[in-house]
Structure 1
Amino acid sequence: MSRSVLYYFAPQSPWTYLGHARLAALLRQSRREVSVLPADLGKVFPVSGGLPLPKRAPQRQAYRLVELKRFAEHLGVPLNVQPRYFPVDGNPAALLITAVQQRDGTDAAMALAGAILAACWAQERDIANEGTLLELLAECDLPDERLDQSREAGTQARYDANTQAAIDAGIFGAPTYIVDGEMFWGQDRLDFVARKLGL
Structure 2
Amino acid sequence: MTQIDYFFSTISPFTYLAGNRLEEIAARHGATIAYKPLDIIALFPRTGGIPVKDRHPARLEYRMQELQRGAKKAGMPMNFKPAHFPTNAAPSSYAIIAAQKSGGDVGPLAQAFLRAVWAEEKDIADDAVVRECLGNCGFDPSLADSGLLTGAETYAANLEEAVNRGVFGAPFYITGEDQRFWGHDRLEDLDAHLAGRL
TM-score bracket for the superposition, by shorter chain length: over 0.9
Q: Match of 1:60?
A: 59
1:149 to 146, 149, 159: 146
How many angstroms does 1:42 deviate by?
2.5
Equivalent residue for 1:164?
160
Match of 1:111 among 100, 108, 113: 108
Summarize deviations over 1:42-94 as a string: whole Å, max 9, x none: 22112101111111112211211111011110121111111121122211111
Q: What is the aligned-residue identity percentage?
A: 36
Q: 1:48 — aligned with what?
A: 47
SS in 2 for 1:51: coil
Separation in structure 1 between the aligned mates of residue 117 and residue 70 of structure 2, nearest angstrom: 17
| Equivalent position to 1:186, from 183, 187, 192 | 183
Q: Which residue of 2 aligns with 1:175?
A: 171
In proportion to residue count, which structure has more helix?
1
Tell me the TM-score normalised to structure 1 length. Answer: 0.93
Tell me the CA shift for residue 157 of structure 1: 1.2
Residue segments in structure 1 that go unaligned for 5+ positions in a row: none
CA 1:75/1:114 → structure 2, altered by over 3 Å: closer, same or farther? same
Q: Which aligned pairs between 1:66-81 and structure 2 lie closer than 5 A?
A: 66-81=65-80
Q: Distance in 2 between matches of 1:118 and 1:61?
A: 21
Q: Which portions of structure 1, spanning 4 or more consecutive aligned residues, are displaced by more than 6 angstroms?
A: none
Aligned-partner residue type, residue 125 of structure 2: A
Q: Please, what TM-score do these two structures have when normalized by structure 2?
A: 0.93
Q: How many residues align?
A: 195
